[in-house]
Amino acid sequence: MIPLSSGSSSQTATLAEEVEMCKLFAARVSLGNSPRGPSEPGRECLGSLPCRLIQRLCSRVDARTIKLVSMTDAPTQIFTAKKVHTMDPNEPFATAVAVQGDRIVGVGHRDDFLHFPQAEVDERFGEKVLLPGFVEAHSHVMSGALWEFPYVGFYERTDPKGQVWSGCQDVDSVLQRLTQCDQEMVDPDQTLVAWGLDPIFLQGERLVAKHLDQVSTKRPIFVFHASGHLATVNSEMMRQSGIDQHTPTPGVAKDDSGTPNGELQEPAAMSLARDGLATIGIAMMSSEAKWNYALEARNCGVTTAADLGTTRLAMEGQLEAWRQTTDHPEYPIRVVVAFGHFDSDGTPANIRDMAAKAAHLREHEESEKLRFGIVKLVLDGSIQGFTARISHPHYLDPPPGHPGNGLWLIPPEQMPDIVSAYHQAGLTVHCHCNGDEAAQVFIDAVDAALQTHPREDHRHTVQHCQLTTEQQYKKMSQLGMNANIFANHIFYWGDQHATITVGRQRAEKMDGCATAEREGVKFSIHSDAPITPMGQLHTVWCAVNRLTASGDILGPDERIGIHKALQACTIDAAHQLLMDNEIGSLENGKLADFTVLDNDPYEVEPEELKNIQVWGTVVGGVPFQAGSE
């Protein structure tokens, strides 16, 4: 497309130009309004004269005429590429994108833009493929915090600096890595904290204190498991923390002679170990964690990530810390920090108070790379931890002593009040629902809120949606709800779901992207990093192939096409984060956020999707190369 730009502003505007200018404004006005609730008249900007004029004129304008963008005299960067996938259905392909400042002013071909003000052609991506910047709509900044500590997990992972950490496939390789870290640490008394251990995958004897004592008997060691529910410590840690055969805390695992073996189960037991969990907790609030989170995102081509309810925004200094970090010109991603619904007693007054805080953030605290407006609720647990709320017949093969079904983290009867309060405040509620029973409670709460307070385009979103049924998707579609599907689960835990948690029949329908598509629910797909590694191409690969770790195709009917999967990571993810007016597709007026790939995901074999190399990203017109410091 060729933008009609008037470089010289001194000309008297003709009627045609006036109409076109109005189209431009109209586009902006509608962009500005679309994701926000009607309860926010301040944003609708209908009061000012030009806008009223636009409204009047708009009816005369065919919305599908050529898009306009206001150009300035600022220099124009023309990024050329082998191919550009725009995710704009009207202009799906291009070979160049023109950028002024942080905005796109043209999508088309190089020669279309050469006459733009101070046009400069940037050919560094000439042999690469550009897509709208990937959007990871469900991750946690904790993912960045963990990289302050050595990784000892089973699967290979790449750290934010681009260094590849090979998987530790047996106890010996865990010990080897820890020994190396021990030797590199300067302070001999400092606790060695490591993370990512997953005993399910390790052959042979379970790793306990006596193994860690081979690493050090002088320095305390705290190894945090991938599940987040356990830690293993060495004898020195137990000595310093006063953990011995008389320690009565449940979760302090003991051997046959009654001596603790070093495994600490659940938070109460883990918190007995000094400088273990607390060190990770402190790291989570650091600015380094925020940087690591962004670098990890950049490395996999993500330009916008949602920190979905990790940050306690009410905690002193956290908002300022986020602002300071994201304001840095080198900070390579936009972050949507969700407002976590924590620590509420569920009384209407308390919930209204929380809703007011969340609304204040959106109205007054947003900046270029820091966004709000999403509220995160957590309703149930996880499927692999047997704590998700699943309807009859519940779990297939739960561990001994399991009560039969999972846990509620919010009393179900409080949900209508909670959802309604945030709904009325014009906010968008994203609710963690792994099990179908949880999803139903949330959907019913949204339904009830809409009955009493009808509101268009609320975009309330079911997060994870792992067992969400066809009927539930139908209802979600009717209610205008969105879904964010945990596609990565199929690869990481699909085999366990088929044999242990819910059985093959239900596992084949898990994370059912095709059902969501068929029922017309807008959806995204996510990693929930650090639960699984961030990497949109891997997540796309999961949704397209549904291959498990053992190589099984689990539920072939739920596979989706590459285009749908990429929409889920770009425009539809942006939609549920209320940012589709600015990102998610490459169109004039949107932010110049791109993902830069070595190969075209539409052209490689579906099994190869996850192996496409990511060059890096462009955020607001600024290139950020993966793996760089």
Partner 1 sequence: MEVTVIGGYLGAGKTTLVNHLLSQATEVIAVLINDFGEINIDDKLVDSVDENTITLTNGCICCSLADGYSKALDDVAKRNPRPTRLVIEASGVADPAAVAAYGHAPGMALNAVAVVADGVNLIEQLADPLVGQTVRSQLAAADLILLNKQDLVSETETLRAELEKFNGDALMVECIHSQIDLDLLFGSEVNKAPKAFGVTGEYESRSHTSMQPIPRDALVELIELLPTQVQRAKGIVRVAEDPHIPMVFQLVGRRWELRALADRKNAPEGNQLVVIGPKGTVPPDWDRTLNAED
Adjacent-strand bridge partners of 130: 84, 596
Q: Which of 41, 248, 454, 551 binds partner 1 (CB under 8 A)?
A: 248
Contact segment (CB under 8 A) with partner 1 among 27-35, 154-162, 272-280, 428-436 equals 272-280
532 binds, among partner 1, Zn ion, none (CB under 5 to 8 A by kind): none
Distance (Å, whole) CA 589 – CA 567: 19
- When asked if residue 259 is in the footprint of partner 1 (CB under 8 A), the reply is no
- When asked if residue 526 is in the footprint of Zn ion (CB under 5 A), the reply is no
437 binds, among Zn ion, partner 1, none (CB under 5 to 8 A by kind): partner 1
Contact segment (CB under 8 A) with partner 1 among 199-207, 309-317, 455-463, 496-504 equals 309-317
Extract the tokens encoding 589.
């007026």
- Rounded to a whole number of angstroms, the minimum distance from the CB of residue 138 to Zn ion is 6
Size of the site for partner 1 (CB under 8 A): 42
Q: Which of 117, 228, 346, 480 binds partner 1 (CB under 8 A)?
A: 346
Binding mask 374-393 for partner 1 (x = CB under 8 A): ---------------x----
Contact segment (CB under 8 A) with partner 1 among 178-186, 238-246, 318-326, 355-363 equals 238-246
Extract the tokens encoding 367.
């900046």
Which of 3/262 has CB closer to partner 1? 262
- When asked if residue 320 is in the footprint of partner 1 (CB under 8 A), the reply is no
Cα 319 to chain center, whole Å?
A: 19
Q: Which of 550, 464, 583 is nearest to 513 (CA)?
A: 464
Which of 201/342 has CB closer to partner 1? 342
Which of 185/268 has CB closer to partner 1? 268
Contact segment (CB under 8 A) with partner 1 among 260-268, 298-306, 357-365, 521-529 equals 260-268
- When asked if residue 511 is in the footprint of Zn ion (CB under 5 A), the reply is no
404: left (phi over 0), alpha (psi -120 to 50) or beta: left
DSSP alpha helix (H) spans, 513-585:
513-518, 536-545, 562-569, 571-576
- When asked if residue 430 is in the footprint of Zn ion (CB under 5 A), the reply is no
- When asked if residue 249 is in the footprint of partner 1 (CB under 8 A), the reply is yes
- When asked if residue 528 is in the footprint of Zn ion (CB under 5 A), the reply is yes
SS3 sequence of 303-366: EEEEECCCCCCCCCCHHHHHHHHHHCCCCCCEEEECEECCCCCCCHHHHHHHHHHHHHHHHHCC
What residue has token string 């647990």? Answer: 381
Distance (Å, whole) CA 487 – CA 565: 10
- Rounded to a whole number of angstroms, the minimum distance from the CB of residue 413 to partner 1 is 7
528 binds, among Zn ion, partner 1, none (CB under 5 to 8 A by kind): Zn ion
- When asked if residue 72 is in the footprint of partner 1 (CB under 8 A), the reply is no
What residue has token string 């810390």? Answer: 321
User: Scanning residues 393 to 422, which ones bind partner 1 (CB under 8 A)?
Assistant: 403-405, 407-414
Q: Is the dihedral of CA 416, 420, 423, 427 positive or negative?
A: negative
Q: What angle in degrees, to the nearest 10, is found between the helix axes of 318-327 and 287-299?
A: 50
Extract the tokens encoding 152.
């000892």
- Rounded to a whole number of angstroms, the minimum distance from the CB of residue 233 to partner 1 is 15
Contact segment (CB under 8 A) with partner 1 among 154-162, 267-275, 370-378, 516-524 equals 267-275
DSSP alpha helix (H) spans, 147-191:
171-184
Residue by residue, DSSP assigns 42-98 as HHH--SSHHHHHHHHHHTTS-TTSPP-----SS-EEEEEEEEEE---TTS-EEEEEE
256: left (phi over 0), alpha (psi -120 to 50) or beta: alpha
Contacts to Zn ion by CB under 5 A: 432, 528
Contacts to partner 1 by CB under 8 A: 241-242, 246-251, 266-269, 271-272, 277-278, 281, 312, 314-315, 342-347, 349-350, 389, 403-405, 407-414, 437, 441
